[in-house]
Homo-oligomer: A and B are copies of this chain.
């Protein structure tokens, strides 16, 4: 990927490095710290910051004097700088938030919807209502795979390859869109439990298991941008037919599907989610059959994780959705079955299996991340000065 490299691009490159450092940092840092962090001189840092300040991308505020030495300034997002809008589009509702450099989010609006693609017009109205000239990019999280970034498929809403270009394209800021599970993983990788982990997996457990492979802080998308359907691998030897068109999918044995089916309910998508939560609660309260169902669930989950770890060798695996509850209730069982599925020589260094820390905000946070990735693109920054 090394693009053409002139000495002007070098400056841009350092500008972007600086902006990314500010964006990725957990706490604001000073100009001198920035210089040390990027390995550049204080003079160079001053020049970079000056330009970014003029371009309304960074702002300097006096820092609390801590110890001796000349007082310095903290680097914070510019109050008139660009912001990203993030949309978490779920099956029955959506949320719009504004996210500034560094990741600080402000929720703007949330609403239910009628489960037709008409919801996009509704969201556009909300964006127009809240939008200002500062909105530079929109990041969109949706359930379901999005082939090539513009054809959305949500089987249980009956959306079969909905063309998004017309729905998202013109008349509002540039948009990036991706799958919610993948974005939740990205959020964990950038700002959550997987921070700093080079090779990791994240799974969102709901009815399906969606997930993503995270390498060096980036979520892998695949050739058609529809990677991540880990739930549709036959990892547990099930014989049932799955809605996806295949038999034996892992997600038939893990998550809401399996819990609900155990109690004779249809694996629908509406009330089933609440039923699954109720089963977890009953298991927690000591109900024997519910406990058994949860046990089976955790075992199947662990087995699949072990199998995937054999192939992909992650350092850590984070879970969201029902996975958080499963770890809380049956963490040991998951690890035990994971271990059994691991090749023997791997068992002394199994992957850590941890609950995600970004929580339900995962897709929204991830959507903001890809929006900011787009804003912080070198050519984009260059055009802004």
The chain A residues found within 8 Å of chain B, CB to CB, are 1-5, 7, 10, 13-14, 17, 38-40, 145, 147, 153, 155, 160-161, 197-200, 213, 215-216, 220-230, 232-237, 244-246, 248, 303, 306-308, 310-315, 340-347, 349, 351
**Roughly how many angstroms separate A359 CA and B210 CA in the complex, as a whole number?**
36
Interface of A is mostly: loop
Expressed in whole angstroms, the minimum distance between the Cβ of A254 and any Cβ of chain B is 14
**B contact residues around A237 at 8 Å (CB):** 234, 237, 248
**B contact residues around A213 at 8 Å (CB):** 213, 312
Q: Are B312 and A222 in contact (CB under 8 A)?
A: yes
Chain B residue at minimal CB-CB distance from A160:
B345
Chain B residue at minimal CB-CB distance from A39:
B4
**Roughly how many angstroms separate A356 CA and B273 CA in the complex, as a whole number?**
46
**Roughly how many angstroms separate A349 CA and B307 CA in the complex, as a whole number?**
26
Q: Are A5 and B10 in contact (CB under 8 A)?
A: yes
**Roughly how many angstroms separate A261 CA and B50 CA in the complex, as a whole number?**
71
Expressed in whole angstroms, the minimum distance between the Cβ of A37 and any Cβ of chain B is 10
Partner of A7, one of B4, B10, B38: B10
Expressed in whole angstroms, the minimum distance between the Cβ of A346 and any Cβ of chain B is 7
Q: Are B199 and A223 in contact (CB under 8 A)?
A: yes
**Roughly how many angstroms separate A10 CA and B7 CA in the complex, as a whole number?**
8
**B contact residues around A312 at 8 Å (CB):** 213, 220, 222, 227
Q: Are B215 and A199 in contact (CB under 8 A)?
A: no
Q: Are A345 and B313 in contact (CB under 8 A)?
A: no
Chain B residue at minimal CB-CB distance from A13:
B5
Q: Are B7 and A14 in contact (CB under 8 A)?
A: no
Instruction: Indicate whether A308 sits within 8 Å of B10 (C-beta atoms), given known contacts A226-B313, A313-B226, A315-B223.
Output: no
Expressed in whole angstroms, the minimum distance between the Cβ of A306 and any Cβ of chain B is 8
Partner of A313, one of B14, B197, B227, B315: B227
Expressed in whole angstroms, the minimum distance between the Cβ of A300 and any Cβ of chain B is 11
Q: Are B13 and A2 in contact (CB under 8 A)?
A: yes
**Roughly how many angstroms separate A276 CA and B285 CA in the complex, as a whole number?**
56
Instruction: Indicate whether A228 sits within 8 Å of B311 (C-beta atoms), given known contacts A5-B17, A10-B5.
Output: yes
**Roughly how many angstroms separate A84 CA and B155 CA in the complex, as a whole number?**
52
Chain B residue at minimal CB-CB distance from A44:
B6
Q: Are B5 and A233 in contact (CB under 8 A)?
A: no
Interface centre among A221, A246, A342 (most CB of B within 10 A): A246
Expressed in whole angstroms, the minimum distance between the Cβ of A240 and any Cβ of chain B is 13
Instruction: Indicate whether A346 sits within 8 Å of B311 (C-beta atoms), given known contacts A4-B40, A14-B5, A340-B246.
Output: no
